Amino acid sequence: MGNYTLDRMKKTLVILLVFCFVLSVTAASASAADNSNYVKNKDGYKAGYDKGYKDGKKQGEKDCQQYGKGEILKKIPGPFNKFSWTTDYKERYNKGYGDGYIDGYSHNRYDCLKK
């Protein structure tokens, strides 16, 4: 009787170990897939940031010439999005554009205020 219980416990332990192994392999592959999306989205953020910085700097220059030292940034314009972009890319691009626009605008306005 004791031998039967020991065999049953061994089988149960083996099943649990196999389950844990399968679970860890699945989690590892899922996290690897998330990293590949992050790299693509990171490219979208950088592209949006660069374009936003350029546009913000240009608008900051115009505002400096037209309004001088007064603060007038009311709204950040929305960037142009291509239909071929994925949803994740668009979200990261728009976020990067907004951040870049503020940085470019602020940098140029700061230079204007120093004059």
Residues 29-52 have a mean pLDDT of: 69
pLDDT digits (tens, 9 = 90+) for 41-84: 678 889 889 988 998 888 888 877 777 666 666 666 777 777 77
State residue 8's pLDDT score.
86
Q: Is the pLDDT of residue 38 over 80?
A: no
Please give the distance of CA 14 from its chain centroid, rounded to a whole number: 41
Q: Is 54 helix (H, G, I), strand (E, B) or coil?
A: helix
| 39 pLDDT higher than 60 | no
Q: Indicate if the pLDDT at residue 104 is higher than 80.
A: yes
Residue 110 reports pLDDT greater than 70: yes
Which residue from 66, 62, 44 is spatially nearest to 105, judged by alpha carbons?
Answer: 62
